[in-house]
Every structure is written in C-alpha cells, then in structure tokens.
Amino acid sequence: MPQVPLTCAQTGQPVPDYLVHTLDGNFVDGSGRTLLLRGVNLSGSSKAPVGHPSHILKDFWEAGEAGSESFVGQPLNLADGSADEHLRRLRGWGFNMLRYPITWEALEHEGPGKYDYEFIDYTIRVLRKCKEYGFKVYLDPHQDVWSRFSGGSGAPYWTLPACGINPRAFTATQAAILHCEYPSPPPDSRDPASLPSMIWSTNYGRLASQTLFALFFGGRTFAPKCIIDGINIQDYLQSHFTRAFAILAERIRDAGGLLDEVVVGWDGMNEPAEGFIAYPDLNVYPTVQGSTLKKGSVPSPAQSFRLGMGIAQTVDYYTLGGFGPIRDGTVTIDPCGASIWADPADEPGGVHPRWKWRRDPQWKLGLCVWALHGVWDVETGYILQPDYFRYLPLSTSVPTPPSAESESRVEVDFLHDFFLPQVTSYFSAIRAAHPNAIAFVQVPVFAVPPEVPETLLQGRACAAPHYYDGLTLISRHWNWYNADALGMIRGKYSNPVFAVRVGEKAIRACIRSQLGVLKADAVQLGTAPLSAPSLPSSPLAVQARYPTIIGEIGTPFDMDRKASYDPSNPRYGDYGPQERALDASLSAADGANALNYTVWTYCTDSTHRWSDGWNMEDLSLWSSDDLACRIGSPTSTDVTMNGGVGMMTPAHASTATLATLRSASLPYASVSEPAHVRLAFLRDGARAVKAFCRPWPVSTVGVPSTIEFDIGKATVKILVTVRAGDMPRVYKELGEDEGEGEEDTEGAEAKSEKTSGSGTASVHSLESEKILEEKPSPLPTEIFLPLVHFASETCVSRSLVLAGQQQAQTIPDGDADPDTHGTGCVPTGTATPNTYTASTATLLLSSPRLNSVSPSEIRIANEAYDVTVKMSEGHVELCERTQMLRWFYSVPTTPGARKEVWIEVKRTGGAIKYPRGAGARSRKGRAGFAGWLEGLSGGDMNPCPESCIVM
C-alpha cells in the first residue's frame, strides 16, 4: 500500500487524520489501513417533496409551474427525533457510508438562479446529524429520465419550457410516461397503482428524455439554433446545473466541520444518458439489446418525432417474456393533435412572463427542435437525416482525433466528446469549494468509462457504476435462471442464449463476475489524455489506480405480486426469496471483488401500498408497514387520505424516538441497551435483514484478498494480504510528552476523534519505528460482526419474546458443538477480559472456565454472542457495543516482503433460523424501540453495563 501523504496536494496543508484517501485501487484511512465503505442510499424519498410522491396528481403541474414546492424534510425529519432512530438503525446494521441523493429541483425549483437556501441549510443540519453517528457521505446530484415532470426526478420544472417543451402533453403523445397520469389523465381513467414495474425506465427511450439529454450534453453541436439568454441551451442548462451544486458545496464549506470529515466527495450526475446522441438510424429502434428497457409502447425515434407534433402512429408493443422483452404486436397512439412543443403565445415578444429568459428569434416555438434543424420534415413526416446524431458536423467546436482527415465524417463518441467535458466542468466547480473532494465518476449504465485524465482526478477519485440484477428487478421474481446482462450489452456473446445461466450457483457466480468487470473498469480512471478512448486488451491484468464503489445495488421487495404483503397469502411477512436475491447481489461484492457499495435504498416513508413513493419502485430495506406491531394487522397497507388523494403517511407509525433515550456515545451504538434489545430493534421493520446486515472487514491492515460469507451457515472467512509498508501509522500530537510510553489502540482512536468536528487539522508526527523482520501492528483489522448473524441463542430468544415472536431455531452445523449451555460455553462478559491468541488459549484466574477446541480454534459465548474463531495468527478482541471484532497480527518490515493471514468466524451451533411469515408472531410486539426498553424488567430500564470482551 502506498504511504499516506502527510501534505495535501490540493491545499498544501498538513493532511488531517480523518481524511479518506484513494490509493492503489482502495480507500485508505489516515493510518494507512484499507477501508471498505459500505452503506445505503439515503434516500429514494428525496426524489420528490415531502407529501408529494409520484402517484399524486393534485397540484402536480401547478406547483411545478409556480416553483413553489420545497424539499425540506427529505430525507429525514429532524423535528420529531425520528432521524436519530433511523440513523442509529443504519449504523447498527454496520453501514459506514451514505450516498446522499439531492435533486437539482430541490436546489433551484423557484427559477433560474433562485436557490432554496432554507433547503440547503436543512441539508447541512442533516449532515451534522450523520456526523454524530460516524457516517461518511458522498453527495449525489440525482436524476432519473431528467425530471419529475418527465416521469422521473432531477431537474426543476422550468428546464422543460426553457427547452421549448410543453410537458402537459407528454402522456397524450407518449413522449414520457408519468405515474400520476397513468394510464391516462382525467377525464379518462387514472389508476396509478397499476403502473407496471420498471416501465418508468422506458422513458429513456422516449422523445422527452432523449431530446432533453441531447440538448444538455450536445446542444451546441446538434441544436445550434437553440439560443436562450444569448447562449446555447447546452451552456444554459449545464451552467445552471453546475452552479446549483457549487452553491451547495460552498454553503457546506462555510458551515464548517463537514467537508472531508463527513462529506468525502461528490458523485457526477446520476445515471447520465446520451439521449439521441450517437443514434445510428432514427428510422428504427436499435435491435441490439441496450440498457434501455423495451416494455409497453416502443416508438422509433422517427415515430416519436411525429407523435410529439400530435400525429397518430402505430408502434411496436413489448411485454416481458421468459428471457427478456419480446414483441407482442402493435398499438396505435393518437395524441389528437396535442403537441409537446410550446405555443409561441407562451412567450410574448420572445420573453417568458414567469421565468424572464429571452429566446433567440431563430428558435421558433411550436416546432420540433429537430425539425427546426432539418432532421425531419413535419409535412411529410420523412426523416431527412437518419444518421444526424451519428456523426460530428464538419464544422464543430468539439475536438476531433488528429488522425482524422479534415473532410471525413467523424463518428460521435458520446463519452469522450460530450460526457467528459461536462463532468470536467462540474468537478472543477465542486473542487473550487471542496478541494479534497473525491470525484465519484459515474457513466451511463453499463458503459465502459472513457479514459479520464489525471489532470481532472488529481489523485482523489473513485469509479461509481451501478448494478442491478435486471431480470429480478423487472420480473419481480427470484428465478431459477438468469443471464449475463452486462456481457450481452457489451457484445460478449454472439447469441444471447450463451449468456443464460441456470441454477442458483451459476447465477451467483455470474453476478460476481459482472461486478468484477465493473471493478476492472476503474483502470480507465487516471490515464493520460488520449485522442480516442481504448481499452487495454486485458483490463483484469492492469492494477486500477482508484477504487470502485457500486453506487446502487439492491433488489425489489414486492416480489410475486406482493405476496409478502398480502395477509391472505401463506408468504405474508416472509421475505425468503428477497433474501436470496439480495444475498446473491451483495455476496457478489465479496469474494476477490471486495467492493465498496451503497445499497438502494432506505426510505423512512416506505409503505406496502405505494412502495418507496416513486414509480412503484419497492427497494427500501425498511418499511414501517413491517414493524412487529403491524404485521398481522389487515390495515397494515392502508394510507392516510388527504383530500381524496393517497399520501405516503403510514397509518401506524412507531411512537418511539431516540430523543427520549440517552444521547449517543459511539457511532455503532448510541444506547447501552442489552444485546437482545438491540437485536430486536435492528430486525424490526427490516426486510431480508440477513442479506444486507453482513460481516465484512471495515478497516484492514493490508488489503482484503477475499471475503466469503455463507449466510446459510453464519460463517465468514477473510483472507488478507499484508506487505512491508502496510504497518499502520500511529499518530501522536506534537508537543505530547514523549515519556508517556506506547500508545494503545484505544488511545489512537481517541486521538483520531479529536480532530473530528474541529474543522481544523492538527499537525502530527509519526512514532519512530525500529526496522524488524516482523512487528505487531499497533492497530487492528476491524471486522463488523453483526448480532443479526452471530447472536447467542439466549440473545435471539429474548429478542423474539420482545418482538412478540416464537422461539428461534438454529440450522445445525456438523462441525459445531451442540452443547451451547454446558461447560463448553463460557460466559465472558466479566470485568476482567479474556485474552486468546492463535497459538495459545490463556485462561485468566478471574474468568469462568474456557473450552478451547484446538490451539487455533477459540470459542467464546456470553449473553450477546456465541462464536468460534479460527485464525492463522494473532489475537482478537470483541466489542459487543460496536459489534466489532478487532484482529491484531504482525506486519512484515523487510522491504518487498509479503504474507497472507486469514481469520474464520462462525456462529457456534449454526445459522439462526428466524421465524418467517405472519404466523411467526404469536403476539403483538411493543411499538418502537423505547417501548422495548420500557418493557424490560417491569418497565424499569436497567441496561447491562458496557463491555469489550478481549479474546
């Protein structure tokens, strides 16, 4: 591992010890340990204002046109104490990283250049709350298919009329599918609950989204007549987008104590799209499988042009077959003359009365912008230039490869010609306010990144692709077969049948392979600028300079027609298939991939009826409808009604907030409650919790080579490569008494925390070290060991009683000692800790009897845990309160030396088999976390003392 720099290259200042580095393909902490950053997107709810999920039509258009809706309250309610409860739950699940979606609309909804500083200040308060719980955050300028007003999220309403578009005609022309108007707006029938799964994503292939992205990325090249306020629409849109997020960055900087300490970096635009750019033939829809889903009506670009001008068309219709979308006849769409192009009367004298921009006279409203530029003829409907977007115009400001002849037509490379200039401008603006920002580089879904020059990345970057198991996401079913979707899109197979995988073992291996390919894409980051992008012949053989984080990954929970939500279904309350699907995806991030990730998503207002509040997506890891006090109630999917319009407010909400409990003391556990109370809290409301609450090495001395977790056996094995130079740095404040002796781990952590929250970095010096062949590491490898998987039988049983569930069972393990309460099981929660090493088992006289199965196998059990630990060397400490196993071992000091060490932890007695389904709950549990505490010992809250068990 390269040495962590002592001086910041961006600022010239001493590097604070809380700064996260990107070195040698990994995230690295200030001491030089490899970090794995894993967490969740907080939150999918942030796509819309509070109380206005995507299915609500009332005031939808009116509020957008007025720019009046504030996003204050998304993603967390800071007024009622629930924010603490949610953040504590996320931390208790082991997460240390948050991807924080913020839409452009949330910042600039009132109009061009009018920023919502109330929302920005609210965001700062939420970030401070995240800091209290020890989270790192990267901010995500989120969008889907451009805007809420084109069927997704992201851009403010005013960007659509700025592009000469009338969005109220989207549904009639099928230029976009809007949830709140599905399948058709009044006076026809409207049934938003019937919106087909993932049909929102077909908007990427429809006229509105394709036009808007083409103008945003390539307006100067492909729409030179589109001039507004004296500049091209591309520059107008990009400058406003970039400035809005730069304003946010500046405000966060000025608030102090957040940049680098909490906010480690910024994502680029979420899932950017090419629009029409690089389209080979506007007369046909591409026959090669791409990342845009074919479902429902599928007009070709030529047909969408005509529909946009109000001309009826008969288009292909697709349904989902066993192996993907299949053509299922045609359907006729008749807009009855409605046009998406704004009426010239909307801008008297070329000036918009509401937004005040001035449109250039050559930009004629009422006419399709592509007809305006001679791409097609409105009178005949004929496409005049079918390859218009395939080539760069001969006179263009976009640089062409020097090898190209001056008179030849140069094919468009969207990523190199259009995406890279935009992302360069954006990150440059962000770094003006946040010099140390890590650039999370995200390209269109499943695209190979362009070669991004180091002049942009400056040593602080990360590849940030997204991955979903597409078949499961679309079909809402965990199938016995699947396919290598990434391989198909990238042309790996001559025939799609070769991409098919049958059986769960093959499916899991396939998903892991796909994530490995996405990780290998990071070799594109930090290359020298070239005239045209190219891939190494064997990317896996090239060491990436920068790490990879899977920015979005997850699985739907409304599988099989919402069987888990239906009180009449035997699977009511059972998330078994969802657990298998999610485990397959997250397990794929383990193995040799050892990937960082942020799961999509955690929504505090997720309900069974309206899902995550956006286009019927249902991927939230938690729902109030799954709280123990609600399962079994036939009204658990009801919603509060407001003016006849369904709202997202749960009919029953937890009455508990952590505001009534003691304040935070540690990020992973802010209340010293008994372990069984904590376990019950972490499971309550969670869906498929065993899949996402997983063991993993958080901070590693060396680099994790492989991570293997068997969810069915509750066994994790971690292999670490340790090299000379991986010895962690132990910081000592300058001026500290040199005669104080060696600094222990607890002290090192405490000193690290001293700089957090100050906003000013302390100046440090390194401890002097003797050069030895091997030397014990002063800092441990820290492994998150979740109670959800490794709790003792006593802890599990008590937690289920608390939650009103029946007794848990365990899955037998042939190698496990079935005696969990005899002399072989040692309660070690004593005042004097026990110390165990890989070669010896030391029994302190003050401790109860120990049973060591072998010199290198140690079993320890108490009220919280019952685990057996094997390791190649060293010793471990288990901190119950933080659910963290600390593993100490030696590091080679001879230059060039390296070694591998391993550790295996399993739950003694096998995996916990929690009750599944509604029948598992024999009585109602108390509502909320505070209710559990109050219910202990006859209402007398007397949590057990904190303890750190050393093994």
The pTM assigned to this predicted structure is: 0.87
CB of 375 within 8 A of CB of 385?
A: yes
Can you give the C-alpha Rg of the chain in angstroms? Answer: 28
CB of 862 within 8 A of CB of 828?
A: yes
The answer to which of 697-711, 802-816, 866-880 has the lowest mean pLDDT is 802-816
Q: Which two tokens stand for residue 214?
A: 């083409």
CB of 203 within 8 A of CB of 152?
A: yes
Write the single-letter amino acid at 861: A
* C-alpha 676: how far from chain center: 29
Give the pLDDT band (50/70/90) at residue 12: confident
Mean pLDDT in residue range 786-810: 83
Rounded to the nearest 10°, the torsion over CA 763, 28, 97, 695 is -130
Beta strands in 255-350 (DSSP E): 263-267, 296-298, 313-321, 324-333
Percentage of the chain exceeding pLDDT 70: 78
* 806 has a pLDDT exceeding 80: no
Structure confidence at residue 732 (pLDDT): 57
* 945 has a pLDDT exceeding 50: no
More reliable by pLDDT, 329 or 948: 329
The answer to which of 118-132, 153-167, 652-666 has the lowest mean pLDDT is 652-666
29, burial (CB in 10 Å: exposed 0-12, middle 13-18, buried 19+) = buried
* 438 has a pLDDT exceeding 60: yes
CB of 689 within 8 A of CB of 622?
A: no
* Predicted confidence (pLDDT) per residue in 345-361, tens digit: 999 999 999 999 999 99
Whether the link from the prior residue into 435 is cis, omega within 30° of 0, is no
Structure confidence at residue 401 (pLDDT): 55
Give the pLDDT band (50/70/90) at residue 521: very high
* Predicted confidence (pLDDT) per residue in 383-402, tens digit: 999 999 999 997 644 555 55
The answer to which of 852-861, 865-874, 924-933 has the lowest mean pLDDT is 924-933
H/E element holding 105? helix 104-108
Write the single-letter amino acid at 663: S
Structure confidence at residue 291 (pLDDT): 67
* 620 has a pLDDT exceeding 80: yes
* 205 has a pLDDT exceeding 90: yes
Which range among 58-67, 660-669, 764-773 has the greatest average pLDDT? 58-67
The answer to which of 212-216, 222-226, 631-635, 802-806 has the lowest mean pLDDT is 631-635
3-state secondary structure (DSSP) of residue 410? strand
Q: Which residues are catalytic?
A: 271, 552
Structure confidence at residue 924 (pLDDT): 40
The answer to which of 201-210, 487-496, 642-651 has the lowest mean pLDDT is 642-651
CB of 101 within 8 A of CB of 43?
A: yes
Tokens 């509040």 -> residue: 613
Q: Cα separation of 277 and 239, whole Å? A: 20
Structure confidence at residue 432 (pLDDT): 98
* Predicted confidence (pLDDT) per residue in 445-482, tens digit: 999 999 999 999 999 999 999 999 999 999 999 999 99
* 927 has a pLDDT exceeding 80: no
Mean pLDDT in residue range 171-182: 97
Q: Which two tokens stand for residue 761?
A: 């970095």
Q: Cα separation of 715 and 726, whole Å? A: 27
Mean pLDDT in residue range 897-909: 96
* 161 has a pLDDT exceeding 90: yes
For β-strands 38-41 and 596-599, DSSP reports them as parallel
Q: Cα separation of 191 and 537, whole Å? A: 51
* 318 has a pLDDT exceeding 80: yes
* Predicted confidence (pLDDT) per residue in 912-922, tens digit: 999 987 544 43
* 662 has a pLDDT exceeding 70: no
Q: Is the dihedral of CA 335, 347, 228, 373 positive or negative?
A: positive
* 71 has a pLDDT exceeding 60: yes
* 537 has a pLDDT exceeding 60: no
Structure confidence at residue 515 (pLDDT): 98
Structure confidence at residue 479 (pLDDT): 95
* 758 has a pLDDT exceeding 90: no
Structure confidence at residue 383 (pLDDT): 98
* 640 has a pLDDT exceeding 80: no
More reliable by pLDDT, 463 or 530: 463
Mean pLDDT in residue range 581-587: 98
The answer to which of 375-389, 390-404, 748-762 has the lowest mean pLDDT is 748-762
Give the pLDDT band (50/70/90) at residue 53: very high
* 534 has a pLDDT exceeding 70: no
Q: Cα separation of 381 and 941, whole Å? A: 75
Q: Which two tokens stand for residue 451?
A: 């070669």
Torsion angles phi and psi, residue 563, rounded to 5: -60, -35
Structure confidence at residue 13 (pLDDT): 85
Q: Cα separation of 437 and 913, whole Å? A: 43
DSSP secondary structure letter of residue 57: -
Structure confidence at residue 775 (pLDDT): 93
More reliable by pLDDT, 143 or 538: 143
Mean pLDDT in residue range 545-566: 97
Tokens 């939420």 -> residue: 126
What is the longest distance spanned by two Cα atoms in the chain?
A: 95
* 189 has a pLDDT exceeding 50: yes
Structure confidence at residue 286 (pLDDT): 79
More reliable by pLDDT, 3 or 843: 3
Torsion angles phi and psi, residue 527, rounded to 5: -85, 165
| Residue 431, number of CB atoms within 10 A of its CB | 19
CB of 723 within 8 A of CB of 611?
A: no
Tokens 């935070």 -> residue: 664
For β-strands 263-267 and 231-232, DSSP reports them as unpaired
The answer to which of 317-326, 596-605, 701-710 has the lowest mean pLDDT is 317-326
Torsion angles phi and psi, residue 836, rounded to 5: -130, 140
More reliable by pLDDT, 224 or 5: 224
Read out DSSP for 67-90? Answer: T----TTSS--SSSSHHHHHHHHH
Structure confidence at residue 5 (pLDDT): 85
Q: Which two tokens stand for residue 606?
A: 């997720």
Assign residue 931 a region (left: φ > 0; alpha: ψ between -120 and 50; beta: otherwise). Answer: alpha
* 1 has a pLDDT exceeding 80: no
Structure confidence at residue 289 (pLDDT): 59
Give the pLDDT band (50/70/90) at residue 290: low
Structure confidence at residue 407 (pLDDT): 59
* 652 has a pLDDT exceeding 50: no
Mean pLDDT in residue range 693-722: 98
Q: Cα separation of 103 and 400, whole Å? A: 33
Measuring CA to CA, how many Å separate 800 from each of 349, 680, 792? Answer: 70, 7, 12
H/E element holding 481? strand 481-483
